[in-house]
Amino acid sequence: SQKIEQNSEALNIQEGKTATLTCNYTNYSPAYLQWYRQDPGRGPVFLLLIRENEKEKRKERLKVTFDTTLKQSLFHITASQPADSATYLCALDSNYQLIWGAGTKLIIKP
């Protein structure tokens, strides 16, 4: 069956360092992959979308890579700030739906 895995344990990063989050998938050939941010008590908010034919996508301090051979996407936040602390979700398209990972909680320590 289709499966998406994100690090279930919280990731603690020192302010100013680069945070890297992983999204792995199996039994899937998505055409697109999206990353969302979710704060406590709020709905997810869209950050970036990357297509299968794109290796890398950047937006300000954010960078996403998509390796269809490894079936993996990496999400990087450079020069991390305490305000970046949140849960980050990856989602892959499956026909008309998005299939969601459980998310990784990121904690940026000042």
Partner 1 sequence: GAGVSQSPSNKVTEKGKDVELRCDPISGHTALYWYRQSLGQGLEFLIYFQGNSAPDKSGLPSDRFSAERTGGSVSTLTIQRTQQEDSAVYLCASSLNIAGTDTQYFGPGTRLTVL
Contact pick of 23, 24, 30, 106 for partner 1 (by CB under 8 A): 30
Q: Using the rule CB under 8 A, is 1 a contact of partner 1?
A: no
Q: Could you tell me if 36 and 106 are in contact, meaning their C-beta atoms sit under 8 angstroms apart? A: no
- What three-state secondary structure class fits 79? coil
Give the nearest distance from C-beta 23 to partner 1 in angstroms: 11
Q: Using the rule CB under 8 A, is 40 a contact of partner 1?
A: no
Distance (Å, rounded) from C-alpha 51 to C-alpha 57? 9
Q: Using the rule CB under 8 A, is 102 a contact of partner 1?
A: yes
Bridging pattern class, strands 45-51 and 32-38 = antiparallel
Q: Which residues pair with 46 in a beta bridge?
A: 36
Contact pick of 29, 45, 70, 79 for partner 1 (by CB under 8 A): 45
Binding site for partner 1 (CB under 8 A): 4, 8, 30-32, 34, 41-46, 49, 51, 89, 91-103
